[in-house]
Amino acid sequence: MSESEGESERSVGQERQKRSINLKGQKESKLENVGILDKIKRLTNTEDKKRLLSNFVSLSVLQGANYILPLITLPYLVRVLGPERYGLISFAQAFIQYFNILTDYGFNLSATREVSIYRDDKEKVSEIFSSVMIIKFGLLILSFIIMTVLVFSFGKFRQDWLIYFLTFGMVVGQVLFPVWFFQGMERMKYITYLNITARLIFTVAIFVFIHQASDYIYVPFLNFMGSLLAGALSLWIVFRNFNVNFKLPSMADIKHQLREGWYIFISTMAISLYTTSNTFILGLFTNNTIVGYYSGAEKIIKAIQGLLSPVSQAIYPHISKLASGSKEKAIKFIRKIALLVGGASFILSLVVFIFADIIVKLLLGNQYQESIVVLRILAFIPFIVALTNMFGAQLLLPFNIKRLFTLSIIIPSVLHIVLLFFAASIFREIGVSIVAVFTESLILVFRMSGLYLFHKDLFLGLVHYGER
């Protein structure tokens, strides 16, 4: 064989090898693409998964709006109104929040669970809807009477009575808006559409009507109008799209709903002792300006918590349904979500702690230098709350462990109030911030300990990272 023929043969061989490698690479690439497509398909291969994904997306969009829109209005409001006026509005909202809790009564969890179980039974759903709405309107009337008596009985409230009455409008809107119904039906898109519409109107109105500190009265009024509009539209959707028939419930139905929501109501009231009460009690012992410093930092923390709440809201009815069928499947699902939410919340908390000074200057302005320390102290609350929620609402309630859920809040809350009076009167906003973090941590420890001692199978199921 000549040298030139040998070279030609080698060239042909190399070309074949290259072609073989290319074909192999193309096959691997196709297999990878197929693998990715299969993973995507598996996420939506059942109606339940499609609904869960849709709910998560809807609530993520809502929380994104709840996060972005306040970030637009908050820097503007705190600067235009100043710490004192902004503190007054925050104090009024903290006061009125007690009536939100009373009218809610725990239905956002108990009624959500019932609707999720009976969602295919139109008659039963109508029965649940009617009973819950009747109770909520009764509690609304009671709340208004109590608020009126308190406002006109104490000078601190009486001098700004109009602020409190306008802020109460948010309670009316909350009663009208059956969030619990849409969550139970797993149709969160309606919550998203209505809330975003109301918030957009409120955001635009803030810049149109509020230009100086004396315009502070418009803030609760605009909130009232936005929540009223969203509530009225939500009822129209319930009757039009879900074929719900309102009928006068029996006394047995009313008693049943009151009984189902009782433990959650007590828990929620207890929760308010270490959340809403922080601002309220601080306002009783100090002044509106100091309340403004604390509220500014707290608003940032709540906005961050809001980023994570879509997960909790979207998965709760899904877990409730899983738990009624298979304990193992429910625990496995909760474990996966806990890892995701825990990791995300820790990163967010760490970022806030490190960049607290920049965040305060950017969002609140130079008038709120005192808020920097407060923000740093509160920074890890989103992480603690995320874990607490997984060991609480997402685990205890679907498995009907209501007693531990309630006690894990009541006992730390009572201690919180005792510490809060001492901290607010002596150490003001710094003391209140430290007590807030301590209480959140105590609730988490209480729930983990209770699960380990009395429901070890659930505890080990949640903390076990390997596949069963």
CB atoms within 10 A of CB 121: 11
Residue 27 falls inside a structural domain: no
257: amino acid identity, one letter: Q
Q: Which of 237, 272, 307 is the last residue of a domain?
A: 272
Structure tokens at 70: 């306040």
Q: Decide which of 272, 302, 330 is a domain's last residue.
A: 272
Q: Closest Cα partner for 220 from 270, 261, 171?
A: 171
105, 133 Cβ separation under 8 angstroms: no
Do 73 and 136 lie in one domain? The reply is: yes
The domain containing residue 138 runs over which residues?
Answer: 47-272
Task: Indicate whether 419 belongs to any domain.
Answer: yes
Distance between CA atoms of residues 433 and 428, nearest Å: 9
What six digits make up the tokens of 30? 């196709």
308 and 447 part of one domain = yes
**Based on the domain organization, do 176 and 245 belong to the same domain?**
yes
The confidence score (pLDDT) of residue 265 equals 85
Q: Please report the pLDDT score of residue 438 as a whole number.
A: 95
- Whether residues 318 and 392 share a domain: the answer is yes
Residue bearing tokens 């923390």? 301
Determine the pLDDT at residue 19: 56
Q: First CA to last CA across the chain, in angstroms? A: 66
Answer for the pair 371, 294: CB distance below 8 angstroms, yes or no.
yes
Q: Has residue 174 been placed in a domain?
A: yes
Please indicate, yes or no, whether residues 458 and 438 belong to a single structural domain of this protein. Answer: yes
Angle at 267 between CA 401 and CA 441, to 5 degrees: 90
User: DSSP assignment of 96-130, as one string?
Assistant: HHHHHHHHHTTHHHHHHHHHHHSTT-HHHHHHHHH
The pLDDT, as a whole number, for residue 31 is 47
Same domain, 258 and 282: no
Asked whether residue 35 is domain-assigned, the answer is no
Question: Within a domain: residue 14?
Answer: no
Whether residues 321 and 185 fall in one domain: no
266 lies in the same domain as 287: no
Residue 319 CA: distances (Å) to CA of 63, 113, 381: 21, 10, 24
Domain identity same for 295 and 237: no
Q: Do residues 314 and 52 lie in contact, with contact meaning Cβ atoms separated by under 8 Å? A: yes
Taking the C-alpha atoms of residue 425 and residue 421, their distance in angstroms, rounded to an integer, is 6
pLDDT of residue 9: 55
Is residue 261 located within the same domain as residue 282? Answer: no
**Could you identify the residue written with the tokens 């973090």?**
437
Q: Are residues 260 and 369 in the same domain?
A: no
Question: Is residue 52 one of the residues assigned to a domain?
Answer: yes
Radius of gyration for the alpha carbons in the chain, expressed in angstroms and rounded: 27
Q: Closest Cα partner for 384 from 264, 452, 304, 318?
A: 304
Q: Is residue 313 packed enough to be buried (19+ CB in 10 Å), middle (13-18) or exposed (0-12)?
A: buried
Residue 446 near residue 412 (C-beta atoms within 8 A): yes
How many domains is the chain partitioned into structurally? Answer: 2
In a domain, 15, yes or no: no
Query: What's the pLDDT score for residue 465?
Result: 47
| Burial class of residue 342 (count of CB atoms within 10 Å of its CB; 0-12, 13-18, 19+) | middle
Residue numbers in the chain where pLDDT is lower than 70: 1-49, 51-52, 55-56, 58-60, 62-68, 272-274, 310, 313, 464-468
Q: Which two tokens stand for residue 388?
A: 């607490």
User: How far is Cα 76 from Cα 57, in angstroms, rounded to an integer?
Assistant: 29
What 3 state SS string does 343-378 have? HHHHHHHHHHHHCHHHHHHHHCCHHHCCHHHHHHHH
Contact between 153 and 145 (Cβ < 8 Å): no
**182, 172 contact by CB (below 8 A):** no
Q: Which two tokens stand for residue 358?
A: 């920049």
Note whether residue 437 is domain-resident. Answer: yes
Do both 356 and 391 map to the same domain? yes
Domain limit, last residue, from 272, 305, 337 = 272
Residue 177 is classified by DSSP as S
Q: How far apart are CA 127 and CA 132, in angstroms?
A: 9
Would you give the distance in Å from CA 332 to the centre of its chain? 22
Judge if pTM exceeds 0.85: no
Q: Which of 413, 421, 424, 422 is nearest to 446 (CA)?
A: 413
* Residue 22 burial (10 A CB sphere; 0-12, 13-18, 19+): exposed
357-387 pLDDT tens trace? 999 999 888 889 999 999 999 999 999 998 8
